[in-house]
Structure 1
Amino acid sequence: MCRTFCGNDVVHEEAPLKKGVSRREFLAAGVATLGATVACATPGPKRNTPGSEEPPRDTGTEGRRYILKGGAVLSMDPSVGDFPRADVLVEGKKIVSVGPNLEATGAAVIDATGTVVMPGFIDTHHHQFETALRSFLAEGLLLNDGRPHGERNYFDYILQKLTPVYRPEDVYISELLGSLSQLDAGVTTVVDTSQVNHTPEHSDAAIRALREAGRRAVYAYASGQGAGTAYPRDLLRLQTQYFSSTDQLLTLAMNAELSESGFRDNWALARQAGVPIVTHLVGSLGHAALLEQLGREGLLESDTEYIHATGLTEGSWKQIADTGGGVSIAAPIELTMRHGMPPLQTALDHGIQPSLSVDVECTMTADFFTQMRTVYTLQRGLINQRALNGETQLPELLTCRDVIRFATVEGARVARVSQKVGSLTPGKEADLLLLRTDAINVAPLNNVPGAIVTLMERSNVDTVIVAGRIRKWRGALLDVELGRLRSEIEASRDYLFEKAGVRRELF
């Protein structure tokens, strides 16, 4: 099998290991298909170490212990520190300890040499239901605002033509494949801004897919289209049916837009339910003035995530800062779709540490290496140009560690899951990555944050762990039947375009 020459490291365990247990629906056939596809496509270096290539069994279950040994550890927690070579001990779904030469009698041992061990990436804004529409609107803008180039735009094609024809099964397969794809890229948490709740059945399908994907998600319940939508009142049913426990991977939020009719009532409903609010802010759409008005009414609190925050007034920025709101910046999308210049420096100038998000795959990739590099180069380019123009009183240039913090610690804070994840802190849940540093695009390793931000991409994501459970192992997702998923997403795509009367242009 291909993985015999693609396998990288070793796991030692006292008892024989079993293959992964199959899952219902699409997660039913183990690693065979995806292992052959992914591992053959991105072979890692051959390692001449003895032992099994199988992952430890039953990871993430109560009492199950394993230790990641010998990796470069980037904890993102100043109280824990970073280590050129150290270990991370996991028991059940939690991190027990981090440090060099840990004792872990009886624990399975995973060889992490040649990798960086770090927290998983956190995406604070993603419309995952659009996965079937990937790359369709690569050159489109946000809307036709009367300025040049706006004829092909997101509002007209995605929201007005394609979104209305989604069936629950289309929502399900896009949510599932989008989740698994990001998991493969090391994004262990998402805020899924789900603007396709045409009926309660659409909402149920989205949540079912998020559950089956096996990663951490904040389901941001949003409005749908048509007479069957139960937004916003269905929020309370969803909360009771799916989110009654806080000890699970899924949590609930409410996407309530400032432009919606009765949005104040929607915000009030979210607060009645005790769930956070997610809202888009684009100054050119008049959102800044509304935000200032809400501030004057005392309706802004720390429970709100503001997406994009482009083109805002000084008054609206002050409102966000004073009330402790979170900011989610989708820099590649904002730059290419004419949302306005990503407000990285403006947020920092107001004492706001931003999180990062991918927004829509109909226009741009959902991996976080692209997000981090875009933010890093954009802020430095703008500040460097000011220096070349003769300015001397300038903000600090972003560092690689800064943007990794945006992608992990700040993401957890904005998604309101920082009590569980975002750093390798003992007591937090084990959402972590092993990123290969001995791969051809990174070796030799000279600086860990620099290698992650300036050199790495999806192929360097060796192993992904969510709540202690190994979800990707040595370059291949576990418990995924890629062939069937691909067939289902292609069938969904064909239906959506035909039903909407939208022509796909392959070239």
Structure 2
Amino acid sequence: MSNRLLIRGGHILSMDPAVGDFPRGDLLVEDGRIAAVGSVLSGNGATPDAEVIDATGFIVIPGFVDTHRHTWETAIRGVAPDATLDDYFVEILDTFAPHYRAEDVYNSNLAGALECLNAGITTLVDWSHINNTPQHPDAAVQALRDAGIRAQYAYGSANTSLSDYWFQSTIAIPGDDVRRVRETYFSAGDSLLTMALATRGPGFCVPEVVEAEWKLARELDIPITVHVAMGRLAGRFGMVKQLSDMGLLGPDTTYVHCCHLSDEEWELVARSGGTVSIAAQVETQMGHGWPPVVAAMDHGLRPSLSIDVVTTVPGDMFTQIRAAFAAERARGNAVFWERNEAASGLLTARQMMQIATVNGAHVAGLESRTGTLAPGKRADVVLIDARAINIAPVHDPYAAVALCADVSNVDTVIVDGAVVKRAGRLLANTARARDLVESSRDYLLGQVEDAKKPA
């Protein structure tokens, strides 16, 4: 089989100003890397041996990047549709999480990663705070590998007790096991899989644990991701200010949610070079606070989007784009309404596409590899079927994807040059993945029901 792939005749949105967009363009992939993007690459003798994908009538975009998802929760999808954040800690972390076996993590990560690919999410930050045994991270990483997704595996704490792990916890993430996982799975430099540390941070942990976990990540030269400023739980802790006072801020840290950061804390994040992940549907639905997309941008940051938990919200990026877009424009419009002025300077559909792609790659530390359709980048590419009745006729391709498309329009998905979805169907064994995750669902529900029975 040829190691060259030509995507021909699509409406290319490169998300790279230096490359630009092509209403009818070609994209050439060689050995998993984007070799060329332009108006006419076919027919000039340069691509005789390439496999051709006819993209006429399709919008060609970089793969979406989800910068924060607890993928292990796929087996309990939809169990907490009406939950607040307070409810989530009890209903999920104190009820289901203690019963998770390593195989349940594998089954969930496999099905969850395939769900991402099906929805055009080619890069995932897997915030994996379910490491109840050393076998749990092994299972999580293996599932990501088997799915064929580009992923940053963020090693988190165990979750066998809410009081032990989330109420001023004195239990640090086990450094020896983090080192083992890094050496075993992440020693290669240029791979689909990279590693991070998913920390709980001040307020949830005592200062000694916070310092130990930050020190561990920096010893191993892996990035850090932490939830901050969300709802009553983390909003009241002033976590970024505490981290600053401890001398721990740095460009290696992603701050998730950020709904209640003070102006001082925003400045601290920006000056330290930190990055931001926003889960708009969760934040508005579960009571974390308003998605702070504009606040992040106003402080010179490049916010990204994430799904967070499928226990309560959908697992696709289209939902997140629209939730963030609507929430921020609602807030902006309200300000102008109160002033009795015409609204101006609001978020645009084009900005939301940037946030969902190249900004996500920036936040995941992978902007040199993915996030745009530019020569030299790895080929993470999605074809959106713009002929479909919910998209046609197309006037603005950015609006067509950001505001009209849904998962049903994700026709073709390519990760690192490999086609993983073609003609609307994943090439993976989805029946097996569904059977596995359903078996975990049944086991976990049974365990929870047994635990409720009187002794």
TM, length-normalised to structure 1: 0.82
Q: Deviations over 1:466-499 (max 9, x none)?
A: 000000001000132x323222212211110111
Q: 1:84 to 1:500 in 2, by over 3 A?
A: same
Question: Structure 2: which 5+ residue stretches go unaligned?
Answer: 162-170
1-side partners of 2:261 and 2:332: how far apart?
Answer: 20
Kept after mapping to 1: 8 A contact 2:291/2:328: no
Q: Deviations over 1:300-343 (max 9, x none)?
A: 00000000011122221111011111100001001111111211
1:217-232, aligned counterparts within 5 Å?
217-226=151-160, 231-232=174-175
Question: Partner of 1:191 in structure 2?
Answer: 125
Question: Structure 1: which 5+ residue stretches go unaligned?
Answer: 1-56, 59-63, 144-152
Question: Partner of 1:94 in structure 2?
Answer: 33
Determine if the alignment matches structure 1 residue 475 to structure 2 residue 396: no
Q: Secondary structure at the match of 1:193?
A: strand
Residue type matched to 1:294 in 2? L
296-305 or 78-87, larger mean C-alpha shift: 296-305
Question: Partner of 2:448 in structure 1?
Answer: 500
Which of 73, 87, 94 is residue 160 of structure 1 equivalent to? 94
Kept after mapping to 2: 8 A contact 1:224/1:231: no
Displacement, 1:392?
4.6
Displacement, 1:503?
10
1:102-251, aligned counterparts within 5 Å?
102=41, 103=44, 104-143=47-86, 153-226=87-160, 231-251=174-194
Structure with the larger helix share: 2
Q: Deviations over 1:213-255 (max 9, x none)?
A: 0010000000003599973431111111000012110000001
Q: 1:395 to 1:330 in 2, by over 3 A?
A: farther
2-side partners of 1:286 and 1:331: how far apart?
Answer: 17
2-side partners of 1:297 and 1:160: how far apart?
Answer: 30
Residue type matched to 2:184 in 1? Q
Residue type matched to 1:260 in 2? C
Q: 1:272 to 1:391 in 2, by over 3 A?
A: farther
1-side partners of 2:340 and 2:372: how far apart?
Answer: 37
Determine if the alignment matches structure 1 residue 423 to structure 2 residue 372: yes
Q: Secondary structure at the match of 1:487?
A: helix
Q: Secondary structure at the match of 2:24?
A: strand
2-side partners of 1:348 and 1:141: how far apart?
Answer: 27
Kept after mapping to 2: 8 A contact 1:200/1:230: no
Which of 255, 273, 284 is residue 220 of structure 2 equivalent to? 273
Displacement, 1:374?
1.1
1-side partners of 2:317 and 2:406: how far apart?
Answer: 8
Question: Partner of 2:432 in structure 1?
Answer: 484
Q: Deviations over 1:421-444 (max 9, x none)?
A: 000010010001010011111111
Question: Partner of 2:164 in structure 1?
Answer: none
1-side partners of 2:88 and 2:251: how far apart?
Answer: 30
Q: 1:233 to 1:355 in 2, by over 3 A?
A: same
1-side partners of 2:334 and 2:172: how far apart?
Answer: 49
Kept after mapping to 1: 8 A contact 2:85/2:288: yes
Displacement, 1:93?
0.6
Which of 234, 242, 260 is residue 205 of structure 2 equivalent to? 260
Q: Secondary structure at the match of 1:310?
A: coil
Which of 252, 264, 282 is residue 229 of structure 2 equivalent to? 282
Question: Partner of 1:79 in structure 2?
Answer: 18
Displacement, 1:108?
1.9
Kept after mapping to 1: 8 A contact 2:134/2:177: yes
Q: 1:486 to 1:271 in 2, by over 3 A?
A: same
Give aligned-pair identity as a percent.
Answer: 44
Displacement, 1:394?
6.8
1:330-479, aligned counterparts within 5 Å?
330-390=279-339, 392=341, 396-479=345-428
**Count of aligned pairs:** 433
Displacement, 1:161?
0.9
Aligned residues: CA RMSD: 1.9
